[in-house]
Amino acid sequence: MSHRYIGGFVQNTVDVLSLPPVETVEYLIIAGGAAGGTGQGGGGGAGGYRSSVIGESSGGGSSAESVFTPTSGTTYTITVGAGGAGVPDGANGNNGGDSSFGAITATGGGGGGGYQKTGGLDGGSGGGGNGNNSQPGGSGTANQGFDGGNGGTSGGGGGGGASSVGETAQTGGTSGGDGGAGVTSSITGTAIGRAGGGGGGASSTNLAGVATDGGGDGNNRDQTGTSGTANTGGGGGGSDGPSGFSGAGGSGVVILRTLNVASATTGSPTVTNVNGYNIYTFTASGSIIF
């Protein structure tokens, strides 16, 4: 507290320097990945990827978004999207759930196309198209992820990833498409690739598509596709059927890095300190107050 003398009276004022600083927040928000389809099913699309981490990329080939300046005492809701559930023979994969930090939302991945369906579904990254009748891949969301690959005649297209399009399956060939690559971030102090698309499924003994950065590999006849890795937003792998299920999508994650110390949280985030920064990792929905 400081004092000013005005007309012989003392007026108390608050020193600007005595107020706590308002620090910015870098965020990484990844939605839930989608499940692959079945029946030469396309790979599931990765969850939408939004990042304001300085010096890193966001999804869909975009640069980092602007850092966020919180309002002191305001409660910010955190939502962590679930991965899409795997499906039985002939079905489109289920889309992943959205993730958010306050009003900033990442879109869930698009499901892989199922047997004789309409193609891969749209999402944060698009699902791969079905291999029957060479169905098209779904569309990704601008600045979050890429499109899914088209299906071929022997396998489904790869699911789109945060940093590249899912691979188109071979037409008249022997393999499903590989999942699109994700994005690597060091927001937690360790470089980790996340939001990769799922690999496309393939018929009989043909080769299924493979995946990276948390996406699940596809599989061939009567085998179950590999699920996306939890808390990476990876898409699930497609499968052929008739008895195999597609891989489920991986759940999303919300990570915040700031010099602020939260006054309250819910949802039990993991809290670490790296190089003086407080890092809040939410693997389940909750809230935070700075």
Residue range 225-252: mean pLDDT, rounded: 95
How far apart CA 256 and CA 231 sit, in angstroms, is: 14
Selected residue with higher pLDDT from 207 and 282: 282
Stated pTM of the model: 0.92
Residue 7: the pLDDT is 44
Q: Quick one: pLDDT band at residue 72, thresholds 50, 70, 90?
A: very high
Domain boundaries, the chain: 25-69+82-97+107-255
How far apart CA 133 and CA 285 sit, in angstroms, is: 40
pLDDT(40) > 50: yes
Q: Quick one: pLDDT band at residue 249, thresholds 50, 70, 90?
A: very high
Residue range 82-111: mean pLDDT, rounded: 97
